[in-house]
Amino acid sequence: MTTPLWKQDATPVPGAQFEPGRSYDVVVVGAGITGLATAYLLARAGMGVAIVEAGEVGHLATGGNTGKASLLQGTVLSTLRSGHPAGLVRAYVEANRSGQEWLAATADELSVPYVRRTAFTYAQTDDALSSVEAEKDAAREAGVPVRRATRDELDAVPFPLASAVALDDQVSIDPMTFATALARAAVDAGAVLHTGVTVRGAKVLPRAHVQTDDGPLYADSIVLATGIPVLDRGGYFAKVHGTRSYCVAFAADGPIPEGMYLSADSPTRSVRAVSAGDGPAGYSGIIVGGAGHPVGRGGSERERVDQLVAWARQHLPVTEETHRWSAQDYQSHNLIPFIGAMPRSLGRVRFATGYGKWGLTNGPAAAQRIVAEILGDGDKPRWMTALGTRMTMPSDLARGVAENAKVGRAAAQGWVEAERTPVPVPQPAEGAGVVAQRGGRPVGISTVDGVTRAVDAVCPHLGGVLSWNDEECTWDCPLHASRFEANGARIEGPACSDLKPLS
């Protein structure tokens, strides 16, 4: 994949020299929207904070999303309402509204531009009309002032659209511009930023600390803002599932729909305009997103992206493809993020995961809750308590059972398929990878940039046999969404170590 649109002119925020063994009030792991918001709020409250990031600011999901901060999120509210009481849906909306308001207010404070656009959940065909209507009803019940799209709004859209529900005054923003400004503001407030430092784990006894490749950092509190926790306590890797989705940005030679669109039916199609107010300076175009699939279980990722591009060229006035990228998101089985203290951590480790592709609103909300808990604020908004004490419903259990059954099948299938392909195998073509079996152990062999490599193809997390991603040239785990570069270096997921290189 190429560099995301948002990163084309992004200036890295310089990190400080890492000093192993130092102590802080709080160590925040991850410099995405959640980690940066948490660090900024804590530093402003006078706490000593260190941010530790394996890559750069906005390295993964924050720098790879569509830049939409909306309370209308496809069919999330109606899906949530189908298995939960209205009060829980309302609390989810209140959390996202708080996150959205914080994002907009902070963007104003930091002079980061954004655009107010109308968000639409739309039906591509008549078969999804009932889904759009259900989203309208659930949204209104939860206090979201949605409306039916007008005939003029429907007629102005060149792609298939049978009906839509609309929500005005939502936010579109360049997420990297915001993340960069937030990181600088956190540093100005006293936080210490360390980039290029990989955290491999955390311990709470005898003294709480994070373990990095460069040595430990100690803290009274640790915040894991890493997409999915890098600790297995609580088993959250089995309570969420990882998905990959793709975005393609195009220049255009005709009128561009000015809203933010997300389909209620499959295949998912997301469309949003980009201007200088909510994108890189001087850029004007349109982003088409979708092609989502469970990590490591998508078939050919390249074919999915090609289908997305073909759809855009068929239905939109697009010309040159300017950028292509992807992102990974984690969704809880009941659509409500997990936020709070990690089990068996003596209250010293907090985390957030399961945003389901809506990190620009859920991320700041998670930061607000984590900060309130660390600071001991007594007067918390109602949504914090409501989401923190939610009950598991039968529908949640059913989704969890179904997902973990898929994980079990993927685990068995990977080993069986590796047995069918013993080494030696033909050298893979450029950009291709294959899993073979050598001495009873799956081996991943790939060719990228003219270099053929072999790595242990068993995920170090829980032993899943990895799958080759032919769009991004990575090894992806179909069990719990860990990902690795062709040379075996860990990218993301619950796995904490790299793949072993083989001759």
What is the pLDDT at residue 240? 93
What is the pLDDT at residue 10? 85
- Mean pLDDT for 444-449 is 96
Q: How far is CA 415 from CA 412, 458, 478, in A?
A: 6, 9, 12
Per-residue pLDDT reduced to its tens digit, 78-100:
999 998 999 999 999 999 999 99
Is residue 422 within 8 Å of residue 440, measured between CB atoms? no
Q: What are the start-end ranges of the E strands in 182-284?
A: 192-195, 199-203, 209-212, 215-224, 240-252, 260-263, 269-274
- Tell me if residue 236 falls in helix, strand or coil: helix
Who wins on pLDDT, 53 or 399?
53
What is the pLDDT at residue 48? 98
What is the pLDDT at residue 423? 76
| Structure token pair of residue 182 | 């937030």
- Tell me if residue 399 falls in helix, strand or coil: helix
What is the pLDDT at residue 400? 54
pLDDT over 70 for what percent of the chain? 94
Per-residue pLDDT reduced to its tens digit, 364-400:
999 999 999 999 977 889 999 888 765 555 554 555 5
Average pLDDT of the residues of the chain: 93
Q: Which domains does the chain have, with CATH numbers?
A: 112-172+241-329 (3.30.9.10), 414-502 (2.102.10.10)
Question: Among 21-35, 166-180, 372-386, 406-420, which stretch is predicted with the lowest mean pLDDT?
Answer: 406-420
Strands 490-492 and 483-485: antiparallel
- Whether residue 492 is predicted with pLDDT greater than 80 in this model: the reply is yes
pLDDT band with cut points at 50, 70 and 90 for residue 439: confident
Per-residue pLDDT reduced to its tens digit, 395-434:
545 555 666 666 667 666 767 676 777 778 899 999 999 9
pLDDT over 90 for what percent of the chain? 84
Q: How far is CA 255 from CA 116, 193, 280, in A?
A: 18, 43, 20
Q: What is the DSSP letter of 408?
A: H
What is the pLDDT at residue 365? 98
Question: Which sign, positive or negative, has the C-alpha torsion 375, 378, 380, 382?
Answer: positive
Q: What is the DSSP string of 286-322?
A: EEEEEEEEETT-SS-HHHHHHHHHHHHHHHS-EEEEE
Q: What is the DSSP letter of 463?
A: -
What is the pLDDT at residue 497? 94
- Mean pLDDT for 213-241 is 93
pTM, two decimal places: 0.94
Tell me which amino acid residue 389 is.
T
Is residue 348 within 8 Å of residue 208, measured between CB atoms? yes
What is the pLDDT at residue 401? 61
What is the pLDDT at residue 399? 57
- Nearest residue to 428 via CA among 473, 394, 477, 494: 473
Per-residue pLDDT reduced to its tens digit, 138-153:
999 999 999 999 999 9
What is the pLDDT at residue 3? 87
- Whether residue 212 is predicted with pLDDT greater than 60 in this model: the reply is yes
